[in-house]
Amino acid sequence: MSLRSRIILVDTNVIIEAHRTNVWPSLTKALRLETVGICVMETQTGAQNRRPEQRIDEAALRASLRNVHEVSERDRAIAATRDTQIGWLDAGERELWAHAIGREDVWLLCGPDAASLRVGIRLGFRERLTALEALCTEVGCRPALALKNQYSRAWLEKKLMEMAIQEGRWP
């Protein structure tokens, strides 16, 4: 199944990296990108420390996404019962997983945070984890600047294999 037909949930780090490398416009035109409200809020944290060309306009970001979801207390509680270590994640990743777990449609999650990836493996969603590089390849866009290593397919595949073995979930 093509990435274009799936919902792709993106975390704060992916949004920032996609803006830094100037692939965000291509991705949002071709893919069904969604996130949660706290990830949008996190893109604004530290904005004053970024160069002007690296700042992300919140209104434009919200307009470019297919949907920005708000996570309920019920979603958070369900997520906490599915994996007790979800509470250890940063706020954006924690909320993104709380939202993802409750979805019944086909989705992928794009985010390089190691603790988040480990939660995805434990929850049985290893096949739903994707790299920013894979999104770029799907839509045929080339980053203006090289993607940082943790956004590559090779890095993700290696990390997922290592973590799956550690978690006793390989193959």
CB 139 within 8 A of CB 27: yes
Give the N- to C-terminal CA distance of the chain in Å, as an integer.
22
Locate 76 and state its tokens: 């958070």
- In order of their start, the domains of the chain are 3-166 (3.40.50.1010)
Q: Quick: pLDDT tens for 25-58.
A: 999 999 999 999 999 999 998 766 777 767 899 9
Residue 60 has pLDDT above 90, yes or no: yes
Q: What is the pLDDT of residue 47?
A: 67
Mean pLDDT of the chain: 94
The better pLDDT of the pair 9, 4 is held by: 9
Question: How do residues 71-102 score in pLDDT, each as one tens digit?
Answer: 999 999 999 999 999 999 999 999 999 999 99
- Measuring CA to CA, which residue among 85, 97, 87 is closest to residue 39? 97
> Does the pLDDT at position 136 exceed 80?
yes
Query: Helix/strand/coil (H, E, C) string of 138-167?
Result: HHCCCCCCCCCHHHCHHHHHHHHHHHHHHC
Name, in order, each residue with C-beta under 8 angstroms of 69's C-beta and a sequence gap of 6 or more: 34, 35, 36, 37, 99
Asked if the model's pLDDT at residue 128 lies above 80, the reply is: yes
Calculate the alpha carbon distances from 2 to 31, 37, 82 in Å.
10, 26, 28
Give the CA angle between residues 77, 82, 83 to the nearest 5°: 100
In whole angstroms, give the CA distance from residue 34 to residue 133.
17
What's the pTM value of the predicted model, to 2 decimals?
0.95
